[in-house]
Each structure stands twice: as structure tokens, then as C-alpha cells.
Chains A and B, each alone.
Chain A
Amino acid sequence: AQKVTQAQTEISVVEKEDVTLDCVYETRDTTYYLFWYKQPPSGELVFLIRRNSFDEQNEISGRYSWNFQKSTSSFNFTITASQVVDSAVYFCALGTYKYIFGTGTRLKVLA
């Protein structure tokens, strides 16, 4: 069975701090995709990244970076120099056809 675990329910940081959101997954598939989505209070899911299971290169996009490690089945997300606008719920997801979502991490960035 597939599973996505986001152990951090809620994180609070002060603006400009770096923060890492953890994601651990389980799957028996050899080919799969991993995703991160942001869900602001409006509810709309904002796509952040998709990573192929064969591509373990870390990725950086502005203040966002992702660390994919197959050996530990983890796909962690780091926000550098956090801002108040980063406050949202962040979901990690796993899948190819159907997606399995983690329970989400609520990030609060305090001014």
C-alpha cells in the first residue's frame, strides 16, 4: 500500500527563518512521482513541484528547495528566509495515476 507521512502537523517560525517540511513516503512502485502543493486559506491547491522517482537531483526555485532521497524515502521541502505570505498548509503527495496526499503541515510565519 502507498502512504505519505507528514509528521509535522504545525510549524511556527519567525519571518526570515529557514524552515524544512518533512515528507516520508512508502510505495512498492519503481516508477512514481512526488509532489508538493501549497494550500492558502482560499483553499485552492497551488502546485509547487513534481519529481520523478528516477531523478534524485535536488532542486532549487528561488527561496524554495527540495531534497529527494530514495534511500530514506524522503522528499523534504525547505523554505529559505520565510515570509508571512508563505503561511499556508503544505501537502506532499505521491502517485502516478492516482495521488495519495499526506496529512499536511500548517506553516505559520510570524512577522
Chain B
Amino acid sequence: GAVVSQHPSRVICKSGTSVKIECRSLDFQATTMFWYRQFPKKSLMLMATSNEGSKATYEQGVEKDKFLINHASLTLSTLTVTSAHPEDSSFYICSALEGVGEQYFGPGTRLTVT
């Protein structure tokens, strides 16, 4: 099956700093990737749709200036949490769309902002 990786798997950063999370499709090209956020014991909430070569589409209520998404190639999308605050601490999961209708999920990145 298709494999999606995320890096880093865990990151701790200080308030006010920015942190970048990478999402890579390892064995297929993905023109579309998705970014989800999951709070402890909660469901996955779609944050944004990342399209290769164009601007990301953000879901309602997601600050696009805070969560910068770049999809510079067919195998890589990055999510940068800018000026992170403790309330940004969460589990971030990406997925890559292969072909039609099937998303393959990365293993997730646990962000802790101190």
C-alpha cells in the first residue's frame, strides 16, 4: 500500500517560535494532501487542503497566517505553525490523496509548545 511519512514524529518548542512539519508521500505522487488536527481524546478535524503548486484551502475557523502550508512538490507538503502558543499543542496528521478518493495517512506529529 501507499506510504506517507511525517517528520518529526514529536517536537517540543517554546512559545513564540515556529515549527515546521513535513508530510511526504514515499511511493506515489500526490497533487493533494490534507492536514488534520486532533486534540486529546477528540476526533480528527480537517484544517486545510494542500494542492501542489497552488494556495492551500483552509477550513472555516483555521487561521491561515498561523498555519502556513506549502505544497512545493508532488511528494511533499509542509505545515508551519508560526509563533506557536501552548494552545497549539496537538497531534497533527497529514494525508495524501492517491488517485481518486483514497487518502493515505501519515503517522502523525505530536507538537508540544511550552
The digit string for A68-99, where 1 denotes a CB below 8 A from any CB of B, is 00000000000000000000000100001111
Report chain A residues within 8 Å CB of B91.
43
Give the docked Cα–Cα distance between A6 and B101 (Å): 22
Contact of B101 with A96 in the complex, beta carbons under 8 Å: yes
Task: Evaluate contact between A99 and B103: CB separation under 8 angstroms.
Answer: yes
Q: Which residues of A contact B110 (CB under 8 A)?
A: 43
Does B102 have its Cβ within 8 Å of any Cβ on chain A?
Answer: yes
Main secondary structure of the interface of B (DSSP, over half): strand
Return the contact of A50 from the options B32, B42, B102 (Cβ within 8 A).
B102
Q: Are A103 and B42 in contact (CB under 8 A)?
A: yes
Chain A interface, number of residues (Cβ within 8 angstroms): 19
Interface digits, A28-53 against B, CB 8 Å rule (1 contact, 0 not)? 00000100010000111101001000
> Counting CB contacts under 8 A, is B113 at the interface?
no
Q: Which residues of chain B have a CB within 8 Å of any CB of chain A?
A: 1, 32, 34, 38, 41-46, 49, 91, 93, 95, 97, 101-105, 107-108, 110
B93 touches A33 (CB 8 A): no
Beta-carbon nearest neighbor of A45 in chain B: B105
In the complex, which residues of chain B have a beta carbon less than 8 angstroms from the beta carbon of A45?
93, 105, 108
Across the interface, B46 reaches (CB within 8 A) one of A33, A50, A98, namely A98
Residues A98 and B49 in contact, CB atoms below 8 Å apart: yes
- When the two chains form their complex, are residues A33 and B43 in contact, meaning their CB atoms are under 8 A apart? no
* Residues in A whose Cβ lies below 8 Å from that of B45: 101
Contact indicator A99/B102 (Cβ below 8 Å): no
Contact B108 A44 (CB under 8 A): yes
Is B107 in contact with A91, judged by CB distance below 8 angstroms? no
Q: Which of A33, A101, A103 neighbours the largest number of chain B CB atoms within 10 Å of its CB?
A: A101
Query: What residue in chain B is nearest A44 (Cβ atoms)?
Result: B107
Residue of A42, A43, A103 most packed against chain B (CB within 10 A): A43
Most buried by B among A97, A102, A103: A97
Name the residue on B nearest A106 (C-beta): B41
